[in-house]
Amino acid sequence: MTKKILRVLAGETLQTPPIWMMRQAGRYLPEYRATRAQAGDFLSLCYNPDLAAEVTLQPIRRYGFDAAILFADILLVPQALGADLWFVTGEGPRLSTITDAQGVASLKPADAVHETLAPIYETVRILSRELPSDTALIGFAGAPWTVATYMIAGRGTPDQGPAHAFKRADRAAFSALVDRITEATIEYLSAQIDAGAEVVKLFDSWAGSLTGRDFDDFAIAPVARIIAALKSRHPDIPVIAFPREAKDRYKGFAQATGADCVALDNSVDAGWAASHVQVHGPVQGNLDPRHMVGGGQALIDETRTIVEAFRGGPHIFNLGHGITPDADPENVALMIETVRAG
Ligand SMILES: Cc1c2[nH]c(c1CCC(=O)O)Cc1[nH]c(c(CCC(=O)O)c1C)Cc1[nH]c(c(CCC(=O)O)c1C)Cc1[nH]c(c(C)c1CCC(=O)O)C2
């Protein structure tokens, strides 16, 4: 029997949508916090295949999600390209910065990334052996624009100001950076697929800050290039794209990039998305992750509204962004129960 998520990604409309959740392995789970403590820190956990596989499996055991997502981070690619990367507790990621053409030129070539990323492929191999037979395995990477924003600023930024400034100052050097990330991402995802990933997802968390021609050049073109390269090497592997906060640019995004499915953030109205996005193909989303904190009737009502809105077409139930550390694990169980009750 084909796994439910793969059926939906092939365009099938199911009675009950399959479910998984962004950041489903994370700090809201006590078992995750215990394994992370055992690993020492977040990056050591990412690069330890046995422990990374263990935390990937934890939410599958607890909740029976229809998919597992590889435990890793989008910022491992910059690290593999030669950037320094560390995480500051309570603050988030820090990287050495790329500020000019010379910085871009100093990066390693795309095919050098496997040296650093080999443990991640081992995690995928372990997972493809150990996952239940009805659970799909999702690999992922950051989309080039979002990864570039971290490489330029050296951290997360509220408005991606440094990346926009670099783009304005030297568009050719900025494009060269995006190209290098694009090529590395093709290598990385292709190797995840060779190791056993059955679906891959591209996270463009900051797509919403690109407009007009910049959106075409840096949210669509690199993603389209990655998807075309993956399709030529692995024609049967579906790709989910997540251009977070793309607003009306969600319309036509799957067609413009070749993505098999678009993931919707929680700012998108489900009714609008059903008639403007889902009519053209599968969608994933898009419950506000705040309901995983608040729970109660609001969680039940909003979950039902989303299931109902997307009932007429192919839909994977998910949150509109990652679950947060302050979420209550009981609310996740309530969400799943509500979706599966139809
Ligand atoms: C922008 C981005 C990053 N990482 C990611 C994105 C894109 C999606 C998004 O917008 O959230 C993607 C990501 N990060 C992580 C995964 C694993 C798979 C999953 O469960 O979804 C995935 C797919 C684990 C993680 N990545 C991180 C954690 C928390 C680390 C910890 O245990 O302390 C996890 C579980 C750390 C991380 N990693 C990143 C940030 C900004 C942070 C710090 C913020 C935070 O602490 O939540 C970069």
> What does the pLDDT look like over 16-58, one tens digit per residue?
999 999 999 999 999 999 999 999 999 999 999 999 999 999 9
- Residue 24 Cβ contacting ligand 1 at under 6 Å: yes
Whether residue 238 has pLDDT greater than 90: yes
Neighbours of 282 (CB within 10 A): 27
Instruction: Go through the domains of the chain in sequence order and give each one's CATH number.
Output: 1-24+264-342 (no CATH), 25-61 (no CATH), 71-263 (3.20.20.210)
How far is 290 from 322, CA to CA, in rounded Å?
A: 10
In 3D space, the residue among 201, 68, 192, 72 whose CA is nearest the CA of residue 137 turns out to be 68
Q: Measure 23 CA to ligand 1 centroid, in angstroms.
A: 7
Q: What percentage of the chain reaches a pLDDT higher than 70?
A: 100
- Mean of per-residue pLDDT scores for the chain: 98
Q: DSSP readout, 263-294?
A: EPPTTS-HHHHHHHTGGGS-EEEEE-TTHHHH
For ligand 1, atom 19, which residue shows the shortest CA distance?
Answer: 23
Give the pLDDT mean for 4-25: 98
Give the pLDDT mean for 307-330: 98
**Which of 28, 66, 73, 244 does the annotation list as catalytic?**
73
- Residue 342 pLDDT: 76
The predicted-structure confidence for 184-200, as pLDDT tens digits, reads as follows 999 999 999 999 999 99
Q: Measure 26 CA to ligand 1 centroid, in angstroms.
A: 9
- Residue 81 pLDDT: 98
Q: What is the ipTM, given to two decimal places? A: 0.94
- Residue 190 pLDDT: 98
Q: Measure 241 CA to ligand 1 centroid, in angstroms.
A: 16
Find the helix or strand (DSSP H, E) in which 192 lies.
helix 171-195
- Residue 150 pLDDT: 98
- Residue 48 pLDDT: 98
Query: b or e along 17-31 (b: 16 or more beta carbons within 10 Å of the residue's beta carbon)?
Result: bbbbbbbbbbebbeb
**Which of 27, 125, 304, 311 does the annotation list as catalytic?**
27
Ligand 1: atom nearest CA of 24 is 20
- Residue 22 Cβ contacting ligand 1 at under 6 Å: yes
Cβ within 8 Å of residue 253, ≥6 positions away:
220, 241, 243, 246, 259, 262, 277
Whether residue 75 has pLDDT greater than 90: yes
List the binding residues: 23-27, 73, 150, 205, 321
Q: Measure 93 CA to ligand 1 centroid, in angstroms.
A: 9
For ligand 1, atom 13, which residue shows the shortest CA distance?
Answer: 73
Ligand 1, pocket-test mutation among 48, 57, 73, 203, most atoms within 8 A of CB? 73
Active site residue 260: no
Find the helix or strand (DSSP H, E) in which 238 lies.
none
Whether residue 1 has pLDDT greater than 90: no
- Residue 30 Cβ contacting ligand 1 at under 6 Å: no
**Which of 36, 180, 225, 249 does the annotation list as catalytic?**
36
The predicted-structure confidence for 254-296, as pLDDT tens digits, reads as follows 999 999 999 999 999 999 999 999 999 999 999 999 999 999 9
- Residue 10 pLDDT: 98
- Residue 164 Cβ contacting ligand 1 at under 6 Å: no
How far is 254 from 260, CA to CA, in rounded Å?
A: 7
Whether residue 331 has pLDDT greater than 90: yes
Q: Measure 62 CA to ligand 1 centroid, in angstroms.
A: 20
- Residue 202 pLDDT: 99
